[in-house]
Chains A and B, each alone.
Chain A
Amino acid sequence: MNLLKLLGWEVERATKPYLILITLLVVAQFAWLGFFLWSETNMYEEIRRTGTPDYVLTFANYLGGTPFILSIGVAVAAMVFFSFWIWYRDFQGRGTFMMRLLLMPQKRMIVFGAKLVTMMLMILGLFSVQWIALKLQYIAFSSWLDSQMIPVGGSFEQAIRFDGALSPMYPASFVNFLIHQVLIVLVILFIFAFVLIERSLWQRTLWSPIIAILMLGALIAVPVTAFFFLESRLFMDEMMVVVGLGLMGWMSVTVWLSRLYLTKKLSV
């Protein structure tokens, strides 16, 4: 119950920057679509005047454009940034809100849980908005080109499948969706663990971010190195099990580390 209440507070505090991000993302993509269609139509008309165009446009041409890739990159960077900021904003200034959160007569891990769920809600929300926006962009793309009698090749699904950046948003199966979500959660957990270690050490040493990076670097490097040694000796099925165990191990250790630092060592 308290987790839900705190989640409500966290979501409310994140709403404004989140809505700004979504608006910018959608506006930038539609602006790019407009420009793309305008320039492609002009070019097609130009070629049609002198001969017969020997190519067809696909939705993948639009998706492969730098502005579109950039908009996705900005959204990803914003989410990574917000994974840090969701903690660091509570340490900002003298009147640190983190102090109020730590003084709550509740388990400190609800703070962690609320921030983690907020991040996941934001990411899944972004996926949903992008999914709807992309469908609308495809409708606009194909209907405009149809109206101009410019041939369109390939389907929406084909264009998406060949775009690596969009694959987490449009997974081929439910299992793929789960794997993508686990990987996203893992990235967030590593960021959270970094912040909590760094904030626990900052009053003791100026090297706190470096120490935090080294600790988490070792946590990542040791299993990865072990995996490279084992890889050639494993069958595919065994390798899947090892990878699965590795991911679960990383998740457990990052949560354990975060809990340790949040409950016993964090300093405000």
Chain B
Amino acid sequence: MIEVLGVKKRYRKKQVIEEVSFTAQKGEITCLIGLNGTGKSTILKGIMGLTPFDQGTVLVDGKPIDLNRVAFVPDHSTFPIHFTIEQCEAFMRDFYPKFDPKLFARLVDEFKLFPEDKLNELSKGTLAKVNLALGIAQDPDYLLLDEPFSGIDVFSKEQIVELFSSDIMEDRGVLITTHEIEDIEYLVDKAVMLNRGRIVREFDVEDVRFIHGKSIVDVMREEYGA
């Protein structure tokens, strides 16, 4: 379980995150929901130590984060744009001890990627698939995804959504931020709603659906008054 406990973050005069606490279980998909600028990406980056929190703790299965067990997939490539997919894989093999070339090859095959393609020649959707393949091939227990559907076409979106329900993602904990909640609503186990750096609601999606007959989008309408 990922435990985010009382984290805070300030940029200049703005308190971006105000004492946020939540958990994300292994084997479940937890979705961080919020309007733009509510601090979703900052929380993911903070968990990974890319933008350190000012205050608070992050524990993974009761211990400080181990980057061998948690992978982060940002909404953009983290490799120089002139790199080919092959070069990205070579880098990952060299420095990520758990990187699984067979799993990567399988994902490359499923996503119909071409290893010799350069990153700067790829569409946004294909780049998102490359990012995801590089993240999953780290074989992490927990996968943090920042806006994996942002600006990508419907077919790429479908391929990625299919992956979430495949055996590849089985037993992994997923913490995801997305605006396109309706695309993965039926896959999400838990939702954590943020507004102005605070958690305004945290709920079990199935409970809300069966007990109250509401979708995540309905709850968002209630909370954000949209």
Contact = CB atoms under 8 A, between A and B. Distances in A.
B66 interface: yes
A194 B48 CA distance: 24
Nearest to A267: B51
Contacts of A236: none
Chain A interface mostly: loop
B79 interface: yes
A224 B91 CA distance: 44
Contact of A100 (B11, B68, B91, B119): B91
Nearest to B80: A97
A203 B91 contact: no
Instruction: Give the interface residue-count category, chain B.
Output: 20 to 34
B18 to A, nearest CB: 17
B96 interface: yes
A1 to B, nearest CB: 10
Greatest chain A CB density within 10 A among B11, B68, B71, B91 is at B91
B56 interface: no
Given A2-B95, A205-B12, A103 B52 contact: no
Contacts of B76: 94-95
B72 interface: yes
A103 B81 contact: no
B51 A203 contact: yes
A105 B97 contact: yes
Interface of A: 2, 5-6, 9, 13, 93-97, 99-100, 102-106, 203-205, 264-268
Interface of B: 10-12, 45, 48-52, 66-68, 71-72, 74, 76-81, 91, 94-98, 119
Given A95-B80, A203-B51, A268-B45, 4 more contacts: A2-B94, A2-B95, A95-B78, A265-B52
